[in-house]
Amino acid sequence: MKAILFILYFVSFSYALPFSLIKHETSTNDGPTLLVIGGIHGNEPGSYFAASILSQYYTINKGNLWIVPNLNALSIAMNSRGINGDMNRKFADINASDPDLNIVNEIKKIITDPKVDLILNLHDGHGFYRKDYQNTIFNPGAWGQTCVIDQESLDGDHQYKNLDKIALAVQQEVNGALIENHHCFAIRNTNTRFDDEAMKHSLTFFAINQNKPAFAIETSKNLPTLNEKVFYQLRAIEGYMRYMGISYSRSFDLNSENLKNILECDGNVTINNTSSLNFENLRNELSFIPLQSESNNFNFSHPLGFAVKKNDKYDLYIGNKKTSSLTPSFHEAGVYEENITIEVDNNQKNIAFATEFLVTADFKVILHNKDIRVNIIGYSPKKGINEANVRVSMDDLDPKYSLDRDHQVYRVEFYRGNRFCGMILAHFKQDTK
């Protein structure tokens, strides 16, 4: 009788850090661990969108993959290299009053974790690196399309100490599948200890001095599309994983067109566990969204989701892209512990807050608790102010109150007095039968 080995696969998330740490690990934790860091510079979207796709669409079958997709989250949202200065120049020393201090200290702890075997720091760089000067785009001063190393090899013993040899293997692999021939990768050795004073303060040189092999992947800012930048980032990351013996699978074929479609998927956000917004066709401005006045928990399905409070509004971002701006209506939290029962197209179902239900013809919220008030945004009741137990079709709703630009998604809110209990979403779909 043959023995069958089952390898369990885990994805864990850390939310206590000032950034996301996503761990793709097998149950045995055997094999090497690769740490991938995106977003140290907030105006380099190829880096952090590649890291986010790596965390969402890849499965690790052997070895381990740790991903920080949003190291400098607020700078990413603001599309700034660094709102508090260049974070990649703060690893040799940093002022105790620097706003980036906590982030730098926490990522240092992860870099020096004994389990981490190799580090990749992802960037987008200007131009296309060439050893000989051709023009302002193709020249020795460019950083784009390079595997960057600080020195040829580590000072101490390590299974991945030969940095130049590893970078050469990855360079050759990436160059085997170029979109355009001039996109070719090269190795750029900054020879940091002797030739580059600024790079002595970088993340990778910090790692090198901890005897940790570290590389920067620089895709070109001059590539015409984001999906092309992400394509080369992922090609290079896969090259490092294969070199390390990390076995992986992904849920898509790696090409520029597939990445374009993936990059358009922004997911959703759950607010305070009581409300949810889907970013597909979401309006740019939404008013009277029930929120708490003191603190609100925004839980994004996308690794690059981020909420920024600006004056009296909350701006929602996926990476450097603002998806919507919420003008709040402040309410204290109410309690509603009963099942939410709705009748949708003559079928009854129970659903939870912060969920969406599909409607073809009409729906009705079935409610017998007189302490609870239902408010269907966009519906003008003929009698009373409680909109429970009323059958509502799409024709009954004012499209200017829809959440989406296609006028198909509407809010159904529940209140106990003036306290907000939660929200469900009615999503109207035409019957295609």
Which pLDDT score, from 0 to 100, does residue 260 have? 97
CA of residue 318 relative to chain centroid, distance: 7
Which whole number is the average pLDDT over 296-318? 95
Do 235 and 383 lie in a common domain? no
pLDDT at 11 over 70: no
Which pLDDT score, from 0 to 100, does residue 16 have? 62
Structurally, how many domains does the chain consist of?
2
Which whole number is the average pLDDT over 186-206? 96
pLDDT at 9 over 70: no
With pLDDT > 90 as the criterion, what percentage of the chain qualifies? 90
Residue 250 lies in a domain: yes
d(CA 112, CA 32): 14
Do 47 and 167 lie in a common domain? yes
Residue 319 lies in a domain: no
Q: DSSP characters for 29-90?
A: --S-EEEEE--SSTT-HHHHHHHHHHHHHEEEEESEEEEES-TTHHHHHTT-S-BTB-GGG-
Task: Provide φ and ψ at 285, rounded to 5°.
Answer: -130, 130
Which pLDDT score, from 0 to 100, does residue 431 have? 60
Which pLDDT score, from 0 to 100, does residue 402 have? 98
Residue 323 lies in a domain: no
pLDDT at 90 over 90: yes
Residue 3 lies in a domain: no
With pLDDT > 70 as the criterion, what percentage of the chain qualifies? 95
Which pLDDT score, from 0 to 100, does residue 29 have? 72
Q: What is the pLDDT of residues 278-292, one digit of tens each?
A: 999 999 999 999 999
Which whole number is the average pLDDT over 263-273? 97
Which pLDDT score, from 0 to 100, does residue 130 have? 97
pLDDT at 341 over 50: yes
Residue 317 lies in a domain: no
Which whole number is the average pLDDT over 202-215? 98
Which pLDDT score, from 0 to 100, does residue 26 have? 83
Question: Strand pairing partners for 59?
Answer: 249
Q: How far is CA 366 from CA 73, 143, 339, 397, in A?
A: 42, 62, 10, 19
Residues 126/222, Cβ–Cβ less than 8 Å: yes
pTM for the model: 0.92
Q: What is the pLDDT of residues 359-418, one digit of tens each?
A: 999 999 999 898 999 999 999 876 668 999 999 999 999 999 999 999 999 999 999 999
Residue 111 lies in a domain: yes
Check which CATH number belongs to the domain holding 36 and give it: 3.40.630.10
Do 146 and 69 lie in a common domain? yes
Mean of all residue pLDDT scores within the chain:
94
Do 98 and 196 lie in a common domain? yes
pLDDT at 150 over 60: yes
Which whole number is the average pLDDT over 39-47? 98
Do 240 and 141 lie in a common domain? yes
Domain containing residue 274: 267-286+295-301+330-433
pLDDT at 338 over 80: yes
Which pLDDT score, from 0 to 100, does residue 4 have? 31
Do 70 and 136 lie in a common domain? yes
Which pLDDT score, from 0 to 100, does residue 80 have? 98
Model confidence at 294, pLDDT cuts 50, 70, 90, reads confident
Short-list 87, 157, 85, CA closest to 121: 87
Which pLDDT score, from 0 to 100, does residue 383 have? 60
Which pLDDT score, from 0 to 100, does residue 337 have? 86
pLDDT at 432 over 80: no
Single-letter residue type at 222? N
Do 334 and 258 lie in a common domain? no
Residue 320 lies in a domain: no
pLDDT at 296 over 80: yes
Task: Give me the count of residues in the chain.
Answer: 433
d(CA 219, CA 116): 24
Do 253 and 276 lie in a common domain? no
Secondary structure class of 417 (helix, strand, coil): coil
The helix-helix angle for 163-174 and 226-244 (nearest 10°) equals: 130
Do 236 and 177 lie in a common domain? yes
CA of residue 122 relative to chain centroid, distance: 14
Short-list 224, 231, 225, CA closest to 250: 231
Which pLDDT score, from 0 to 100, does residue 1 have? 32
Residue 222 lies in a domain: yes
Short-list 406, 412, 413, CA closest to 430: 406
d(CA 338, CA 73): 38
Do 79 and 174 lie in a common domain? yes
Short-list 382, 418, 54, 9, CA closest to 238: 54
Single-letter residue type at 310? K
Which whole number is the average pLDDT over 182-201? 96
How many C-beta atoms surround the C-beta of residue 26 within 10 A?
18
Which pLDDT score, from 0 to 100, does residue 229 have? 98
pLDDT at 7 over 50: no
Secondary structure class of 191 (helix, strand, coil): coil
pLDDT at 36 over 80: yes
Q: DSSP characters for 319-382?
A: TTEEEEEEEEEE--B----S-EEEEETTEEEEE-TT-EEEESSEEEEE---TTEEEEETTB--S
Which pLDDT score, from 0 to 100, does residue 3 have? 33
Do 273 and 256 lie in a common domain? no
Do 234 and 271 lie in a common domain? no
